[in-house]
């Protein structure tokens, strides 16, 4: 320690605080206390060390650090290169297979293709809802609805449900609420006959469900208006491909086998009972004798009319044009496509019926999401009905194409159709 440092350590320390009085103004350092000393070179070095930036220190560390290379085992290097090459090959094959299966509806095992996860765009409420496992929650809710309610809790429970969701108990077909064993049975309740009178007009289109009409209008350019200013494609709702015709090879084989069995049975019956005619004679008349027919058959068929086929085609709206498969049959026919969206609230009658007399030709099932179909979400989430799980019924009525699409929702994901 230098002499100046020793003098600094031995000098008395006087500390003055304004407003405070000490009993002794001089304090002597004890022998056990730690002494501090600094020199001018050390102080300068510390300041210069703190002023260095991280980049300069990193560069100095990289320059002063000695790099030492260690040999890699040959087996480890070959294994790494093999795994990397295998990963690249599998990724290339997967990409090629995805391009081949892009237009296919099923995989190699005949199962429907796994659909891509779609993240809807919208406000934060929609974003949060899209992250929830709505299908799993709906499945759990369905199991809960099937639990048997104790006998004495059914009436107060169903009345509470009716009070919350506005159920009119006077229209229920079964007035005794004890009959419904669980909430699911009460949810799919039936109505009394006559509470919803039907229009006797054969040209009228009846309401298929006991709900609220949310939207109604015409389909223009293949677009359906969900709400004002928000539309979605009709192909996205019903499917872009034309419905496939049912294969008739199996039915033709079964029909031929049935006809042969019927002919064999009739021949045996004729032989046993001594009937002189055979099936060919029964259908085409007796055979001519010596080339002269015994009786001239008369043609009982209806004379064909040139316009009969055209009338049938116009009635069934069959068209071979290259327009969309759901388009009207003919541009000359004064017809248009209309749509109607009906919303069923939790307290409504949840059975649906046929709105017109029509023929269902095909059915399509789209395994989508189970978002809520409330009017608020219809205004918020574009293309809501094209995202949800639905069953599309395609067919025709006397005016042309007709489609009926029940759409599932949160906690109401099961759709049962009875023909």
| 14, part of any domain | yes
Give 189's pLDDT tier (boundaries 50, 70, 90). very high
Closest Cα partner for 326 from 232, 275, 402?
402
Mean pLDDT of 343-357: 90
- Please answer whether residues 385 and 377 qualify as being in contact, where contact means their C-beta atoms are separated by less than 8 angstroms: no
Number of domains in the chain: 1
What is the per-residue pLDDT for 11? 46
Letter string b/e over residues 221-233, b meaning 16 or more CB atoms within 10 A of that residue's CB: eeebbbeeeebbe
pLDDT tens, 8-61?
A: 444 444 544 444 444 444 444 444 555 555 555 544 444 555 567 888 888 888
| 31, part of any domain | yes
pLDDT tens, 68-79?
A: 788 878 888 888
Mean pLDDT of 167-177: 91
| 45, part of any domain | yes
For the chain, give the secondary structure using H, E and C: CCHHHHHHHHCCECCCCCCCCCCCCCECCCCCCCCCCCCHHHHHHHHHHHHCCHHHHHHHHHHHCCCCCCCCCHHHHHHHHHHHHHHHHHHHHHHHHHHHHHHCCECCCCCECCCCCCCCCCCHHHHHHHHCCHHHHHHHHHHHHCCCCCHHHHHHHHHHHHHHHCCCHHHECCCCHHHCCCHHHHHCCCECCCCCCCCCCCCCCCCCEECEEEEEEECECCEEEEECCEEEEHHHHHCCCCCCCCCCHHHHHHHHHHHHHHHHHHHHHHHHCCCCCCHHHHHHCCCCECCECCCCCCCCCCCCCCCHHHHHHHHHCCCCCCCCCCCCCCCCCCCCCEEEEEECCCCCEEEECCCCCCEEEEEEEECCECCCCCHHHHHHCCCHHHHECEEEEEEEECCEEEEECCECECCECCCCCCC
What is the per-residue pLDDT for 172? 92
CB contact set of 215 (below 8 Å; sequence gap of 6+)? 225, 226, 227, 339, 340, 341
| 159, part of any domain | no
Report the range of poorest mean pLDDT among 176-190, 277-291, 384-398, 403-417.
277-291
pLDDT tens, 131-152?
A: 888 888 888 988 998 999 999 9
- Rounded to an integer, what distance in angstroms lies between the CA atom of residue 351 and that of residue 205? 17
| 79, part of any domain | no
What is the per-residue pLDDT for 21? 44
- Rounded to an integer, what distance in angstroms lies between the CA atom of residue 137 and that of residue 114? 21
Give 404's pLDDT tier (boundaries 50, 70, 90). very high
CB contact set of 251 (below 8 Å; sequence gap of 6+)? none
Mean pLDDT of 81-96: 90
| 241, part of any domain | no
Parent domain of 20 = 3-49
Residue with tokens 């019927």: 262
Looking at per-residue pLDDT, the higher value among 86 and 282 belongs to 86
| 27, part of any domain | yes
| 9, part of any domain | yes
């Amino acid at each position: 320690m230098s002499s100046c440092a020793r003098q600094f350590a031995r000098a008395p320390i006087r500390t003055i605080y304004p407003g405070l009085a000490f009993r002794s103004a001089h304090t002597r350092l004890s022998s056990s206390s730690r002494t501090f000393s600094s020199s001018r070179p050390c102080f300068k070095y510390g300041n210069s060390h703190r002023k260095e930036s991280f980049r300069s220190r990193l560069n100095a560390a990289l320059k002063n650090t000695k790099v030492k290379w260690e040999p890699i085992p040959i087996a480890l290097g070959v294994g790494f290169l093999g795994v990397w090459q295998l990963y690249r090959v599998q990724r290339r094959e997967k990409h090629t297979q995805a391009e081949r299966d892009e237009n296919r509806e099923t995989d190699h095992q005949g199962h429907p293709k796994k659909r891509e996860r779609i993240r809807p765009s919208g406000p934060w409420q929609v974003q949060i809802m899209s992250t929830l496992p709505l299908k799993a929650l709906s499945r759990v809710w369905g199991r809960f609805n099937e639990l048997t309610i104790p006998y004495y809790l059914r009436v107060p429970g169903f009345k509470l449900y009716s009070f919350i969701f506005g159920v009119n108990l006077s229209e229920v077909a079964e007035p005794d609420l004890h009959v419904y064993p669980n909430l699911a049975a009460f949810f799919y309740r039936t109505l009394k006959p006559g509470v919803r009178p039907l229009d006797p007009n054969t040209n009228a289109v009846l309401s298929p469900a006991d709900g609220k009409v949310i939207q109604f209008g015409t389909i223009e350019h293949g677009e359906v208006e969900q709400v004002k200013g928000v539309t979605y494609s009709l192909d996205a709702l019903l499917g872009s491909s034309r419905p496939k015709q049912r294969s008739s090879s199996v039915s033709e084989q079964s029909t031929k086998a049935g006809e042969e069995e019927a002919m064999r049975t009739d021949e045996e019956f004729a032989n046993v009972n001594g009937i002189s005619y055979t099936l060919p004679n029964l259908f085409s008349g007796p055979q001519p004798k010596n080339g002269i027919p015994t009786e001239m058959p008369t043609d009982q068929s209806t004379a064909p009319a040139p316009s009969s086929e055209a009338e049938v085609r116009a009635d069934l709206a069959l068209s071979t044009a290259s327009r969309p498969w759901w388009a009207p049959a003919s541009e000359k026919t004064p017809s248009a496509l209309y749509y109607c969206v009906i919303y069923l609230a939790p307290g409504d009658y949840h059975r649906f019926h046929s709105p017109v007399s029509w023929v269902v030709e095909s059915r399509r099932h789209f395994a989508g999401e189970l978002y809520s179909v409330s009017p608020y979400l219809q205004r918020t989430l574009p293309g809501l009905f094209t995202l949800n799980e639905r069953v599309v019924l395609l067919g025709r009525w006397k005016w042309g194409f007709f489609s009926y699409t029940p759409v599932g929702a949160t906690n109401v994901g099961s759709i049962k159709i009875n023909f």
